[in-house]
Structure 1
Amino acid sequence: MMKKTVELTDRETDRIIEMAWEDRTTFDAIKFQFGLSEKEVINLMRREMKLSSFKMWRARVQGRSTKHEKLRSDDVTRFKCSRQKQITHNKISKR
């Protein structure tokens, strides 16, 4: 069985890495915007980052409740900071 591959532009890859580093952005938000599962994001981070940076990121996000929607408190209803510029489906609104 062959797995589908998602072709990403450099800009999309950079945005996924940025979102993965953000504490409040869940893996579910990345899946919603880019179609990548948590495992695929981990593989992308492993491939795109230096080993030491990848290890630091993994240690940071592993088990972090803010990165996993199911572990979040019920009162958190958004996946981005209220002060962050409006981003919808990877399209940044005009400033």
Structure 2
Amino acid sequence: MEYLTEKEIDRIIEMAWEDRTPFEAIHFQFGIKEPQVIALMRKHSKKSSFRMWRKRMKGRNSKHEQLRTQGVKRFKCTRQRTISLNKISKR
């Protein structure tokens, strides 16, 4: 994952925190799978932020495309705003 730029890492972290963005979308856009996203989050987040994120993601159906409702085929909510800066606390 050393090939990722700081901007790409920020976007992956942002997507990982979004409730409706599945891990498959991250894989599609950046070529990294769920275990790599978890490792990236562990490396680039504060310990408490990482624990909070893991607790939040555990069992969340919307983070896995196969567990989502059949009618949902998009990666992003139509009402979601575009965020210009990552405001998630990092190391």
**One fold, TM greater than 0.5?**
yes
Q: Report the equivalent of 1:9.
A: 5
Amino acid at match of 1:24: R
Q: Which runs of 5+ in 1 are unaligned?
A: 87-95
Q: Report the equivalent of 1:19.
A: 15
Q: Report the equivalent of 1:54.
A: 50
Q: Report the equivalent of 1:34.
A: 30
Amino acid at match of 2:75: F
The alignment's TM-score, normalised by the length of structure 1, stands at 0.81
- Alignment of 1:81 with 2:67, yes or no, is no
Once the two structures are TM-superposed, the CA of residue 6 in structure 1 deviates from its matched residue by 5.2
Once the two structures are TM-superposed, the CA of residue 53 in structure 1 deviates from its matched residue by 0.3
Q: Report the equivalent of 2:64.
A: 68
Report SS of the residue matched to 1:15. Answer: helix
1:6 and 1:61 map into 2 onto residues whose CA distance is: 25
1:30 and 1:62 map into 2 onto residues whose CA distance is: 17
> Greater Rg, structure 1 or structure 2?
1
Once the two structures are TM-superposed, the CA of residue 84 in structure 1 deviates from its matched residue by 3.9
Higher strand share goes to which structure? 1
CA 1:85–1:56: 2 relative to 1, 3 Å: closer
The alignment's TM-score, normalised by the length of structure 2, stands at 0.84
Q: Among all aligned residue pairs of Structure 1 and Structure 2, give the percentage whose two residues are the same amino acid.
A: 61
Higher relative contact order structure (alpha carbons within 8 Å, sequence separation ≥ 6):
2
